[in-house]
Each structure stands twice: as C-alpha cells, then as structure tokens.
C-alpha cells in the first residue's frame, strides 16, 4: 500500500528533481531532435512533463454517488546526459512517473471528503524509434507527440487507504451514514510489470493511434510485498484477484480530421473518438470492460465525454461491475 504520506513524498521528490535538473532547461519541444551532448541540459525538454492525460471533471458511476474527479499525471526524466551519450539520437529515455486520482464528493457525501482513489508511480524505460518523427505538422503545431514508442516499466498501484482488517472495516461501517462509503477506505495495493506501446497511422486527413498494453501483477513485489486484494469480510459478491479484471488493454483513438491542412482551424479539427477494451489474463476475457470517449475543443477547453461499462472504476471497488459516465477537461499527454 502506498500511503497518503508516501504519495506526498513522491510528489515532492518529483518536483525537487525537476527543479534541480531543469535549472538550465529551455522550453524545447519534445519532438525537436538534437545532435551532440555537450549542452544537453539546455536543449532537452523540461524535466517535468505530462505523462498520462491530466483530467478534471465530474463522474457518476452506478455503485457510487457523483463526485468531482481529477487526475494528475507527470513524469521526470532521469540520467539525461548519460543516456544522451549511451544512446544516439535521443532514442532511449528513463523516467520516473507518478499518476494520482482523487474524488471530491462536493455536496454528495457528508463533509464533502476528498478520497484518494489511485497512486501509481513507475520507473519507466522508453524507446522512441524515430524521435524526429512527430505529429506536430498534422495538428498545425497545436500539439506535439511521437508517432511511436515502446515502454517497459516497474510499477506500483495502490489507493493510499488504511483499512485491512474486518474489525477496522466494521468499525467504520458503524460510523458512516452509508455502509457502502466504507468500501472506499479499504487498502488495495499491487506491484506489476508493464509493457505498453503506441503506433500512429496517418492518412490524407485522418489518423488512428493504437495503444496496446500488458500488465503482469506480481505475487510479491519490491514495494508492495503481497498484494492487497479482495477480503472475504467485505461482503457482497465475491471478488477475484485483480488479474482477472485487468492486465490486457487496447485503446484505439480515431482523429478524423487530424491531417487536414488549414490556415484557419475549424471546430472539428480537434474531434477525437476513442474506444478502450480491458480484460484480465487469468482467466482470460472472463471479466470485460469497455470505455468509449468523444473529445472536442470548445471555447479553448479540450472537453471529453465518456461512458464505461465493466470493472476497475476505482481500486477500492475494482471487482464491482457497473456503468459509469462523466464529462471532463482532458489535457493530452506529451
């Protein structure tokens, strides 16, 4: 389990590393290649970057009351100068990443608590086959991203909560106004190995991005030790280990007008349609989750409307099957 205190320590560490290693960094774009390593700190991207999409929105899921849903995701590049010398053309990078998700129950639960739902640090090794091949030209310079990369990572995933015994759980159930609220305070935690990749396919106007991913959940991790999963005293329908619901993922993004050249960008230039499928690997394809998204920039805000049916709506309730919907501002990862 990654506690709230540990999560704050990681966030502070990321900010400190970014401040120290990025003192001479310019605001160079991630898609700009370079030659030579003498002034790598001045020419490489800033040390503190986005990782997964940072989101801020409103969520309603079938097993919970509505809440303000926000996710912050960043990465810090490590050993920049050595990697520049070891791997020409900036093709290999090492990152420390952190993704945190929180729910603010404004007006829907007594006291309007902010509940931690996910802490996900990773040590990530990324291979970029062609750093000079970016998608900035297709978006009129409004967004820069690589056409392809391959990621390998060692990751920890937990919700920062503390209840791990039946006595603690029963005591909280007696205190809260709704017994279901006590579920969010059950401690969950896993270590896993992560393999992910991206490949973009561009046509005359449209583009398709494909994101396959595989997670292998460890039986005994370096950070977590033994996983904290479903307990028999939780009641309800019995839950399975997480690898029954999660581990095999595929996301497909379709941008129908991404490659259209226009001096005056139109509203539909930012249209994005996405479909994500997730299932477990033991047993395989027994418990399935499907998520659909429609994204569009409105008055300068990158809005995203989404709906999901299946599992993993949060780590505490990972084995609950439910339908959820939401509207959010979605900031694309770099």
pLDDT at 254: 93
Q: Which residues pair with 75 in a beta bridge?
A: 49, 97
pLDDT at 23: 33
pLDDT at 21: 38
Euclidean distance between CA atoms 31 and 130, whole angstroms:
10
pLDDT at 138: 45
Euclidean distance between CA atoms 253 and 208, whole angstroms:
6
pLDDT at 87: 78
Q: Provide the CATH number for the domain around residue 150.
A: 2.40.230.10
pLDDT at 129: 86
Low-confidence ranges of the chain (pLDDT < 70): 1-47, 133-144, 259-268, 332-334
**178: domain range?**
4-31+40-331
SS3 109: coil
Per DSSP, 241 falls in state P
pLDDT at 144: 59
pLDDT at 40: 57
pLDDT at 245: 97
Q: How many structural domains are present in the chain? A: 1
Per-residue pLDDT of 9-63, as tens digits, reads 555 544 444 443 333 232 223 333 344 565 555 555 556 788 999 999 999 999 8
């Amino acid at each position: 389990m990654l506690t709230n205190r540990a999560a704050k320590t990681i966030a502070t560490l990321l900010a400190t590393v970014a401040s120290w290693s990025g003192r001479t960094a310019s605001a160079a774009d991630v898609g700009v290649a370079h030659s030579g390593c003498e002034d790598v700190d001045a020419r490489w991207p800033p040390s503190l970057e986005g990782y997964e999409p940072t989101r801020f929105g409103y969520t309603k899921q079938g097993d919970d009351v509505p809440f303000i849903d926000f996710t912050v995701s960043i990465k810090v590049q490590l050993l920049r100068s050595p990697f520049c010398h070891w791997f020409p053309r900036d093709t290999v990078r090492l990152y420390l990443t952190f993704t945190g998700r929180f729910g603010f129950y404004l007006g829907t639960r007594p006291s309007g608590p902010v509940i931690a739902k996910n802490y996900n640090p990773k040590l990530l090794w990324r291979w970029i086959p062609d750093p000079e091949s970016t998608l900035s030209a297709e978006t009129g310079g409004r967004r820069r991203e690589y056409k392809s990369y391959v990621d390998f990572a060692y990751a920890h995933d937990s919700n920062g909560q503390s209840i791990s015994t039946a006595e603690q759980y029963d005591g909280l159930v007696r205190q809260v106004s709704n017994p279901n609220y006590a579920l969010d305070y059950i401690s969950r935690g896993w270590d896993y190995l992560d393999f992910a990749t991206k490949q973009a396919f561009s046509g005359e106007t449209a583009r398709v991005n494909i994101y396959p991913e595989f997670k292998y959940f460890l039986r005994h991790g370096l950070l977590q030790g033994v996983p904290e999963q479903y307990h028999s005293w939780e009641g309800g329908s019995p839950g399975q280990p997480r690898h029954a619901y999660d581990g095999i993922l595929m996301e497909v993004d379709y941008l129908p007008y991404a490659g259209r050249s226009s001096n005056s960008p139109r509203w539909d230039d930012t249209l994005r349609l996405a479909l994500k499928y997730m299932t477990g690997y033991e047993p395989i394809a027994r418990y399935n989750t499907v998520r659909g998204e429609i994204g569009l920039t409105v008055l300068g805000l990158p809005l995203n409307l989404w709906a999901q049916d299946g599992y993993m709506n949060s780590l505490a309730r990972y084995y609950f099957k439910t339908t959820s919907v939401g509207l959010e501002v979605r900031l694309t990862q770099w």
